Amino acid sequence: MKRLDKTEIVFKILSYTILTIFALACLYPLIYVLANSLSDRVQADSTSVVLYPMITKKGTEDGIIGLNFNSYKWIFGQEQFWLSYCNSFFITMYGTLVSMLVGICGAYALSKKRLLFGRGFNFMIVLTMWFNAGMIPTLNNFLLFGVDSIYMFIIALGFNAFNIILLRNYFSGIPAEIEEAARIDGATEFQLLTKIYVPMSKASIVTVAMFYAVARWNGYLWASMLLNASDYPLVVYIRVSVEATISYYLEADAAWFIRENYSRFGLRYAALVMSIIPIVVIYPKLQKYFAAGVNVGGVKE
């Protein structure tokens, strides 16, 4: 085994130290939110919770390490919360499915040099990344075409130019010899796409699908502007409904928080924790597909 010299040892120590600090900096906001969501009203509202959950010691205002689930009990008891959760899953699953269907078909066509006016179509796709109509005209167009239901919302936000270009570049990188061999065997365009391009681009397709899924799950702006309250996804519910409930009780009956031992910060944080659980669970399982080099060994020169 080769021994490392001093410069390599110093470099490794510095690299691991910087990466560890960066990882902890990324992880700490999640720890902070989770700790506050599990703390009681006095400790959370006093912003004394920094690293671990705290509850108030009986007879004093001193904080001790402990768990308080009042915020989660309140969240679980809200019917609209679960309805919004279902809306988020619906928008994410079907929105990603529609986006991938449009994206894969569009990227496959744009990756072909034999496509008539192919350069023009590619230029128009890229042009939308440089210039757009602006928020107000786009909103007016959505309203004009009746984008006010969850189904029309999924279709209206059905594709992203950047993701289509990513898929097009992946498809363009597949060796032409594979397609030529398949054509000799009588493969149609649909068979080329489903039997060759999609399987050989599995990693890139899963990556783009994750981009779409995260964007759909966290999509707040257009959902809050276009959808009705009954169709709100989870992120909009957290911003609108939870905040409205907290404001109402603070204005109408501030003693309600004390009487029920609810924390206004704890309610927010508990809702946030619930909203990120699906991403935290699913993302690591799909991370293996993000590795590059799926085409290595596809053709032997």
Q: What is the pLDDT of residue 18?
A: 93
Residue/partner pairs of 256-259 with CB below 8 Å, 24 or more apart: 257/41, 258/41
| 6 CB-near residues (< 8 Å, 6+ apart) | none
Contact of 232 with 84, CB cutoff 8 Å: yes
Cβ atoms within 10 A of the Cβ of 87, count?
A: 21
How many angstroms separate the CA atoms of 70 and 260, rounded? 9
Contact of 108 with 121, CB cutoff 8 Å: no
Q: What is the pLDDT of residue 21?
A: 93
How many angstroms separate the CA atoms of 217 and 220, rounded? 9
Full pLDDT tens readout for the chain, 301 residues: 566 677 888 888 899 999 999 988 988 888 888 888 888 777 777 777 778 777 777 766 666 777 778 888 888 888 888 888 889 889 989 989 988 888 888 888 888 877 778 788 878 887 877 877 777 887 787 888 777 788 888 888 877 888 888 888 888 888 878 878 888 878 788 888 888 888 888 878 888 888 888 888 888 888 888 888 788 888 888 887 777 766 666 665 666 666 666 777 777 888 888 888 888 888 777 766 655 433 333 344 4
Q: What is the pLDDT of residue 298?
A: 38
Compute the Cα dihedral for 180, 182, 186, 190 and give only its sign.
Answer: negative
Stretch (H or E) spanning 63 = strand 63-65
| 46 CB-near residues (< 8 Å, 6+ apart) | none
Domains of the chain are 1-68 (no CATH), 72-301 (1.10.3720.10)
Buried b (16+ CB within 10 A) or exposed e, 212-242: bbebbbbbeebbeebbeeebbbbbbbbbbbb
Q: How many CA atoms lie within 13 A of 40 on its CB side?
A: 17
Contact of 132 with 126, CB cutoff 8 Å: no
113: tokens are 């040099």
